[in-house]
Amino acid sequence: MSTERQFCTFLIDDLLLGVRIEEVQELIRHQPTTIVPLSSSELGGLINLRGQIVIAIDLRRRLGLEPRADDESAMNVILRTEDGLVSLLVDEIGDVVEVSEDDFGQPPETLVASGRELIQSVVMLDKNLLLILDTEKAVNVDSALMNQ
């Protein structure tokens, strides 16, 4: 019998992405962000999470997608990482899905290059595909690079 795992899903553009539910601390609605000058556009800024300062990563830009329209506000997926909390800015929060490890597959070759390395695997759901995010890579934004 294969292991069932739970994923927290969210939408970016029309992509359905997921992270392991154990890594998620909480989901919160749009927060006022403070922009960090000179930092890469992949950093959405800093948010105040009940007195803790958390870096928000703009997952759209991180995946090499078009920036979010001005009138759309992002949702925050707060992840627990080795270096503390990090927020992922996403378009919309989806359901928690339970998938069996048997359903995991390699990401398709056709994924955009910059996004591909962030996708750990692909799960085929009934209606659509769930892309499992490699959170470690996703939050590893190098500010030195962004400086340019």
Partner 1 sequence: MDEIVKEYLIESNEALDCMDRELVALEKEPSSRELLATIFRAIHTVKGTSGSLGYSKIESVAHVGENLLSRMRDGDLILTAEITSALLAMTDVLRRMLASIEETEEEGEFETGSVTDALHRILQNSTGMNNPSAAGSDKTGEILVERGAVSESLITSVVKMQEQGDARKIGDILVEEAGVSPLAIADALSVQAERRQQVTTSAIRVDVNLLDKVMNLVGELVLARNQVLQFTTNTEDSSFLRTAQRLNLITTELQEGVMKTRMQPIENIWKSFPRVVRDISLAGGKLAELEMEGAETELDKTIIEAIKDPLTHIVRNSVDHGIELPSVRQQAGKPPCGTVKLRAFHEGGQVNIVISDDGAGVDCARVRAKALEKQLVTPQQLTAMSDLQVMNLLFLPGFSTAAKVTNISGRGVGMDVVKTNIEKIGGTVAIDSVQGKGTTIKIRIPLTLAIIPALLVMSGGERFAIPQVSLVELVRLEGEAAISKIEMIHGAPVHRLRGKLLPLLSLNRQLNLPATVAGADDVPVVNIVVLQADGRQFGLIVDDINDTEEIVVKPLGKQLKGIHCFAGATILGDGRVALILDVPGLAQRAKLGSETQAQEVLDERKKATAESADAQSWLLFRVGNKGRLAIPLSTVSRLEEFDLAAIEVSDQRSVIQYRNAIMPLIFISDMLHLQGAREDESRFPVIVYSEGGKDIGLAVDEILDIVDEHVEYSNNTASDYLLGSAVLQARVTDLLNVPAIVDGFMRSSDFIPEERAEESIVYVN
Of residues 87-126, those binding partner 1 (CB under 8 A): none
- For position 148 contacting partner 1 by CB under 8 A, the verdict is no
Between 57 and 59, name the residue whose CB sits nearer to partner 1.
57
- The DSSP output letter for 69 is P
β-strand pairing of 75-81 with 52-58: unpaired
User: What are the tokens at 21?
Assistant: 């539910």
Between 17 and 47, name the residue whose CB sits nearer to partner 1.
47
Q: Which stretch binds partner 1 (CB under 8 A): 11-19, 72-80, 88-96, 133-141?
A: 133-141
Cα–Cα nearest to 81, from 143, 141, 123 = 141
Cα–Cα distance measured from residue 55 to residue 13, given in angstroms and rounded to the nearest whole number: 22
User: What are the tokens at 102?
Assistant: 């048997």
The single residue among 83, 106, 109, 113 that binds partner 1, judged by CB under 8 A, is 83
Give the ranges where 82-134 is alpha helix by DSSP (H): 113-116
- For position 35 contacting partner 1 by CB under 8 A, the verdict is yes
Residues engaged in binding partner 1 (CB under 8 A): 32-39, 43, 45-48, 51-55, 57, 83-84, 86, 139-144, 146-147
